């Protein structure tokens, strides 16, 4: 495993769940990690648990200037900003017409605008240093429309389009050693899904493999070693869903059985949670 001494990293939404698991992987790799979250007290507790190689601050990713200040703070305290992970995200389920305007705006601002703000904040010191890696945690919902999660999916489509387009702009500008990678996992057992086991609008999140945060965090570490524009987790799921994006009429025709399977999986996981056999360990 490559070690990175005296280098700085920042993770958004890192007080718990996947963000905390990613921060843990980065600390193990030798990074000084800036743990950020809109819940500053929880971020401070998470950083304390990670040890002397972590520090914390409150960050609302919707605030562009706050993101830039967090990047500067990382450089000042860690000596550099080599990795920025945009992990903060929110999910509300159900038909789009059932969401009120604040809910729609929240998903678009955190999932899409927050990713844009974080990426641009990170690119400023990274371009100046001539190196760095932005990892954007997107979702399989960024590759194919997810029924019951349409506004969330739209926000993730925006995040992946921005990421790949900005990477292309970097290469056109002659910047070769600054990378942007999108990690697109299947459903992850994090606080975002804890209350969705009985929610029919969340069936899309259970149609494939339910991942543990540690599994996705480990893949983020591998992406740092071998940058890729898009990584799907698991890889076969990325390949399996692409036809639904290419042939939407076929996708619409097959929605019934797919979502029925998702609801069956929800019930199975709900039973496992009640029995104490999920999550494993």
Active site members: 152
E strand segments, the chain: 7-11, 31-37, 54-58, 83-86, 132-137, 178-185, 230-233
What whole-number distance in Å separates Cα of residue 264 and Cα of residue 269? 9
Residue holding tokens 């069956």? 264
Distances (CA, A) of 44 to 40, 48, 185, 189, 213: 6, 6, 27, 23, 20
Provide the b/e sequence for 87-112 (b: ≥16 CB within 10 Å): bbbbbbbbeeeebeeeebebbbbbbb
E strand segments, 140-229: 178-185
What are the φ/ψ torsions at residue 232 (nearest 5 degrees)? Answer: -100, 145
Query: Dihedral, CA atoms, 115, 141, 217, 179, nearest 10 degrees?
Result: -50
Residue holding tokens 């990325």? 238
Which of 1, 23, 2, 38 lies closest to 214, judged by CA?
23
Q: How many CB atoms lie within 10 A of CB 214?
A: 15
């Amino acid at each position: 495993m490559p070690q990175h001494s005296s280098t700085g990293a920042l993770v958004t939404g890192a007080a718990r769940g996947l963000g905390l698991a990613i921060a843990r992987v980065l600390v193990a790799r030798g990074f000084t990690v800036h743990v950020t979250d809109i819940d500053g007290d929880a971020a401070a507790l998470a950083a304390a648990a990670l040890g002397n190689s972590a520090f914390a601050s409150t960050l609302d990713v919707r605030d562009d200037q706050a993101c830039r200040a967090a990047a500067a703070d990382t450089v000042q305290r860690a000596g550099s900003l080599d990795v920025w992970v945009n992990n903060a995200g929110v999910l509300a389920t159900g038909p789009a017409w059932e969401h009120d305007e604040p809910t729609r705006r929240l998903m678009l601002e955190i999932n899409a605008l927050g990713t844009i703000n974080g990426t641009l904040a990170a690119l400023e010191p990274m371009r100046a240093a001539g190196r760095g890696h932005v990892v954007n945690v997107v979702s399989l919902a960024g590759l194919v429309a997810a029924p019951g999660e349409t506004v969330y999916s739209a926000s993730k489509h925006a995040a992946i389009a921005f990421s790949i387009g900005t990477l292309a702009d970097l290469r056109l500008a002659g910047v070769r050693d600054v990378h942007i990678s999108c990690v697109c996992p299947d459903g992850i057992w994090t606080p975002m899904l804890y209350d969705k086991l009985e929610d029919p609008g969340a069936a899309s999140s259970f149609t494939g493999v339910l991942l543990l945060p540690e599994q996705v965090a480990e893949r983020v570490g591998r992406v740092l070693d071998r940058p890729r524009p898009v990584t799907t987790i698991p890889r076969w799921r990325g390949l399996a869903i692409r036809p639904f994006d290419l042939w939407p009429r076929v996708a619409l025709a097959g929605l019934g059985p797919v979502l029925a399977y998702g609801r069956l999986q929800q019930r199975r996981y709900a039973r496992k949670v009640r029995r104490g056999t999920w999550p494993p360990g």
